[in-house]
Amino acid sequence: MNQRKQLLLALAIILLGIVSTLALPGFGFLMASRVVLRGGTGVYVVTAYCIAVKLALSGRQAGAMSNVARAIPALKGEASIPLGE
């Protein structure tokens, strides 16, 4: 699969998980939507690592991967936990 399409599919899965978290009632649906979110995030992160390595200059791949690693908490929503979520 094309990596661009794979990223878009992962973002669509993440959006589906967010919408289901907000719209569906009950604790069971909340847990199911969290599983969907984690699946989409996992696909997105792995694809982002691969793209970062391909785009980086020779000898600069580790720096590109560290930039992706710094963005992961924003995808997972962990940045909002200290704000009282």
- Confidence label for 78 from pLDDT (cuts 50, 70 and 90): low
DSSP symbols for 23-85 = HS-SHHHHHHHHHHHHHHHHHHHHHHHHHHHHHSPTT-HHHHHHHHHHHHHHHHTGGGGGGT-
Give the 3-state DSSP-derived string for 47-62, with helices as H, strands as E and coil as C.
Answer: HHHHHHHHHCCCCCHH
3-state SS, residue 85: coil
> Which tens digits make up the pLDDT trace of 11-65?
898 888 888 888 888 888 888 888 888 888 888 888 888 888 988 888 888 888 8
pTM for the full model? Answer: 0.71
pLDDT at 75: 62
Q: Could you tell me the sign of the dihedral formed by the alpha carbons of 16, 19, 23, 27, in that order?
A: positive
